[in-house]
């Protein structure tokens, strides 16, 4: 597994946007574990830019086979045989998440959200997912 790092940087279009977000309120239950610094400008001597995007990795042949069986056209053993060769491993860092897309407590599945970092040029587009990731928008590295 890759290492995520020890810092979380929040970016915003303006300082007032960061103030409105009020990160201290959201992380107050972690105050014994995190250190929050004041809002600062991005330094002028940045190393470059990078895109941090979600990378979906096929890691579980049984899960893929069960999904295929639900379609009703093949049995589990055949589906498992088909998917046993597509399972991949990765050293990408990940965050273990719990799906909240269903209201049934028993159905809330845990999954790994893998994060891939790619070098990039500065992007004018700033579009990010709910997870704060983007396949097109870059952030400064410093």
- Specify the higher pLDDT residue, 130 or 4: 130
pLDDT at 17 over 80: yes
Average pLDDT over residues 51-63: 85
Nearest CA to 55 out of 107, 117, 120, 137 is that of 117
pLDDT at 136 over 70: yes
User: 86-100 burial string, b = 16+ CB within 10 Å, else e?
Assistant: eeeeeeebbeeeeee
Under the banding of pLDDT at 50, 70 and 90, the label for residue 105 is low
| 49 DSSP β-pair partners | 120, 140
Torsion angles phi and psi, residue 111, rounded to 5 = -150, 160
pLDDT at 122 over 70: yes
Q: How far apart are CA 9 and CA 21, in angstroms?
A: 13
Residues 6+ apart with CB under 8 A from 142: 42, 43, 45, 46, 47
Under the banding of pLDDT at 50, 70 and 90, the label for residue 40 is very high
Instruction: Give me the residue spans of the domains in the chain.
Output: 58-90
> Is residue 94 helix, strand or coil?
strand
Give the pLDDT confidence score for residue 67 in this predicted structure: 81
Instruction: Look at the block and give the residue holding tokens 């998440």.
Output: 97
As a whole-number percent, the residues of the chain with pLDDT over 70 amount to: 92
Give the pLDDT confidence score for residue 55 in this predicted structure: 92
pLDDT at 76 over 60: yes
Give the pLDDT confidence score for residue 2 in this predicted structure: 58
pLDDT at 139 over 70: yes
């Amino acid at each position: 597994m890759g290492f995520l790092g020890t810092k979380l940087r929040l970016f915003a279009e303006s300082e007032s946007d960061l103030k409105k977000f009020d990160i201290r309120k959201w992380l107050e239950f972690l105050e014994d574990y995190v250190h929050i610094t004041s809002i600062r400008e991005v330094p002028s001597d940045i190393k470059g830019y990078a895109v941090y995007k979600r990378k979906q990795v096929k890691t579980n042949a049984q899960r893929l086979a069960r999904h295929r069986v639900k379609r009703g056209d093949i049995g589990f053993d055949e589906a498992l045989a088909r998917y046993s060769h597509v399972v991949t491993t990765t050293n990408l860092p990940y965050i273990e998440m719990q799906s909240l897309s269903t209201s049934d407590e028993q159905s809330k599945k845990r999954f790994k959200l893998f994060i891939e970092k790619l070098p990039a040029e500065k992007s004018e587009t700033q579009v990010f997912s709910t997870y704060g990731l983007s396949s097109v928008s870059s952030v400064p590295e410093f």
